[in-house]
Amino acid sequence: MITQENGTYSWQGTIDVSYEHKVFRILFLVIGAVCGLFIIMALVMGGEMLGVMLLTCLGIMAIVGGVCFLFNLNAGKRKQPYTMTEDCIIFGGGKASNPFFYKSVRKAVVYTGRNMIELHTLVGHGPVFVDHNEFGFVRDYILRRLPETTEVVYE
């Protein structure tokens, strides 16, 4: 639920399961590419290193797979705190907070069916997850504050 304090709005958004799975796929692709490079290096260095590199890569993939499996057990239950102000939206809380200033957003992708808005800046992007009941309010609040040059895409 959205609460208002001193002109700011705060809520806990439930992270979308399909977004989590997308992150897991990217993680596996990156780890797989790194392991592939290690195996190529082992082939170049000599055959005796190939077995060690294969076992190391399999071990790393097993650990990453196990961590992803454990995270997947709670899929759809994780919450992300957000705070919206006139100037920015803050992802997280405390020392782990990450502000996205509206004036620096270059692209906003609105996923109405998933109740998610993805904000893209020059140096990164961040998803805003909102419950279905508050999605329209948050979407309009954010879109009204974006610069006119911001590309807005609806999916």
Task: List pLDDT tens digits, range 72-107.
Answer: 777 777 888 999 999 999 998 778 888 899 999 999
Average of per-residue pLDDT across 1-5: 71
> Residue ranges per domain, the chain?
3-14+82-154, 18-73
For residues 137 and 21, which has the higher predicted lDDT (pLDDT)?
Answer: 137
**DSSP secondary structure code for residue 52 in this structure:** H
Burial 62-72 (b: 16+ CB within 10 A, else e): eebeeebeeee
The mean pLDDT of the chain is 86
- Ranking 25-29, 98-102, 127-131 by mean pLDDT, the lowest is 25-29
Q: Is the pLDDT of residue 19 over 80?
A: no
**The pLDDT value given to residue 95:** 81
- Cα 36 to Cα 18, 23, 31, 41: the distances in Å are 27, 20, 9, 9
Q: Has residue 47 got a pLDDT over 70? A: no
Q: Which fold has domain 3-14+82-154?
A: PH-domain like (2.30.29)
Q: What is the dihedral of CA 122, 126, 130, 136, to 10 degrees?
A: 10
Give the tokens for residue 107. 């692209």
Across the range 125-143, mean pLDDT stands at 92
